[in-house]
Amino acid sequence: MSKLTILRYPHPNLHKVACAVTAVDARVQQIVADMFETMYDANGVGLAATQVDIHERIIVIDVSEERDQPLVLINPELVWTSEEHVSNEEGCLSVPGIYDAVDRPERVRVVALDEHGSRREVEAEGLLSRCIQHEMDH
Ligand code: GNR
Ligand code: NI
């Protein structure tokens, strides 16, 4: 495992659009492990690969208090968003010190691959929903 460097605004690579992962193999699993190490070290609740200068659709999330509920989303797609929206404060590890309210759908359903390449569907609300949407925006 190795900790990766988180790009900070206004690094131009933060604007790059990530490509789909074509195979969930050992290379991708190493990226996932390194992203978790980086996210936990930074006390973040989520991290998108773009933030560590890897331009592939890979997201790691852990919104649990105990930091023991890792969630991996590869090639995520939103398949449903609620009509109801909610506004809440967001921060970003790539924009340290800045927090502002962002209006988003309250609940989402996302389909993605996990770290083993298995398709999974997650329905989320609250911080998890917000975090999934924030990471997908990266
Ligand atoms: O650590 C993070 N906290 C957070 C709080 C509210 C909404 C979204 C987030 S994501 C952020 C980590 C980050 O920058 N991920 O891209
Ligand atoms: Ni962010």
Q: Does pLDDT of 1 surpass 90?
A: no
What does the pLDDT average to over 92-111?
A: 98
Nearest CA to ligand 1 atom 11: 92
Distance CA 23, CA 9 (A): 30
Q: pTM of this prediction?
A: 0.98
- The residue to mutate among 71, 90, 128, 132, having the most atoms of ligand 1 within 8 angstroms of its beta carbon, is 90
Amino acid making up residue 47: L
Using the mean position of ligand 2's atoms as its centre, give its distance from the Cα of residue 121 in Å: 22
Amino acid making up residue 90: E
Paired residues of 105 in beta bridges: 85
Using the mean position of ligand 1's atoms as its centre, give its distance from the Cα of residue 92 in Å: 5
Mean pLDDT over all residues of the chain?
98
Residue 74: its pLDDT value, please?
99
Query: Among 21, 51, 47, 44, which residue's Cα sits nearest to residue 116?
Result: 21
- Residue 81 sits at φ, ψ, to 5 deg, of -130, 140
Is beta strand 58-61 parallel, antiparallel or unpaired with respect to 46-48?
Answer: antiparallel
Residue 64: its pLDDT value, please?
98
Q: Does pLDDT of 105 surpass 90?
A: yes
